Amino acid sequence: MLKIYKKIYDKFGPQGWWPVISNNPKLEICIGAILTQNTSWKNVEKSIKNLEENNLLNLKQLKKIKTKKLALLIKSSGYYNQKARKIKEFVRFLSSNKKINRENLLNIWGIGPETADSILLYAYNQPIFVIDAYTKRIFERLGYKEQDYDNLQKFIIKNIPKKTKIYKEYHALLVKLGKEHCRTKPICNNCPLSSNCRTLTS
C-alpha cells in the first residue's frame, strides 16, 4: 500500500489539498464537501466563488440567507435545491454545538460517509481515510476486492501509517491519478501504477 503511495507521489508530487479561497477554510471545506457530491470540482469552484463574493462563507450569513436564494448561488454544482437544503441542515448542526464526529455528521440529512469523512479529514484534521469513486476504481483495478465503503476504508487504514497528513496526500493523489489516467476508460500510457494493474487496458 505504501509502495503504491510512493509511486503516485513520485509521479505527481504533493497536491496541497483541500484548496481554499476564503478566510474561513474550515467552513469552506465543509461546504465544498457537500457541493462536490455528484459533480466535478470545476463546477464546485464556481459555486464557492459565488458564495465568497456574496460574503456567504461565514456561519452568520448562511443562517440568514433563504434556501431558495442560496440554491441559485450554487447552481453550477448541480442538484442545487437539494444541496442548498443540505448546507442549511449542516449549518443548523454546527449551531447546535454538538460534537463534530462521524456519527453525528451521518445523522445530518444529506450527509453520507464520503462527505462526512471529507469534512473530518480535511476540515477537522481527523485521521480518517476518504473513499470516493476514484479510490474504488483504482483499487479494484489493482486487484483489491474490498469494494464496500467501510471494508475498503478499513483495509487501507490498516496498511498505511495512521497520520492525517498521509491520509490527505494519499487521497488527493488518488483523485489526481483517477483524473489523469484511471478514468472510466483508462489512459494507461505513462500511468505510474501500470506495472501493478491487473486489468491493464490499452
Cis peptide before 18 (omega within 30 of 0): yes
- Tens digits of residue pLDDT in 173-183: 999 999 999 99
HSE of 28, CA atoms in CB hemisphere, 13 A: 21
Per-domain residue ranges for the chain?
A: 2-15+128-180, 25-123
HSE of 85, CA atoms in CB hemisphere, 13 A: 6
CATH domain 25-123 topology:
Endonuclease III; domain 1 (1.10.340)
Cβ neighbours for 99, distance < 8 A, ≥ 6 positions apart: none
- What is the pTM (predicted TM-score) of this model? 0.94
The answer to whether the beta carbons of residues 15 and 173 sit under 8 Å apart is yes
- Tens digits of residue pLDDT in 88-142: 999 999 999 899 999 999 999 999 999 999 999 999 999 999 999 999 999 999 9
